[in-house]
Amino acid sequence: MFRYIVIILYLALITNVKASNKEKIIENLKGIKNLDFKFEQNINGNIENGNCTIKYPKKIFCEYARSNNKILVSNGKSLVVKTITSYYRYPLEKTPLNFILDKNFLISKINNSKERIVDGSLINYTIIEKDIEINIFFNKKTFDLIGWQNTDVYQNFNITFISSIRKNRVITNDIFKLPSQN
């Protein structure tokens, strides 16, 4: 009998630890209005980096570090990727960023997902929505979003790591205006 009580207590403790991680991640997300960070992105082995600002819901501005003046901007409805020589505009709803940039969507999916601990330091949730699979990663100590992986609109495998995260800074909405095609 004592053995069963110990097993039940052990299982309850494990369940509470996982629920605690999930609750802390959700509380952290709820408190974030915006964040800026450095990123490193690996798309099929091509590595780029730069800085981004996210404003919830669904707005992002990223400047890439390379000399081609690449930027990525979403105003909440459209997503533009612009370089010196190219300009691409997509409906945001057709991209994985539509889900990643919607913290209420993330919270609801995390709340109903099973967590997985990766390398003892990352918490991962797999989200599948409209045939799009996104793996979201959080730091196990700070409960901050630290990256994601998904397949983009061109079926390229995309891994994004974020660092130097700063939350709830004063930002101007002007950065989320879509650039012109010139």
Q: Residue ranges per domain, the chain?
A: 2-176
Q: What is the CATH number of domain 2-176?
A: 2.50.20.10
List the pLDDT tens digit at each of the 182 positions of the chain.
444 444 454 445 454 445 589 999 999 999 999 999 999 999 999 999 999 999 999 999 999 998 788 999 999 999 999 999 999 999 999 999 999 999 999 999 999 999 999 999 999 999 999 888 999 999 999 999 999 999 877 788 999 999 999 999 999 999 999 999 87
In order, the DSSP letters of 133-148 are EEEEEEETTT--EEEE
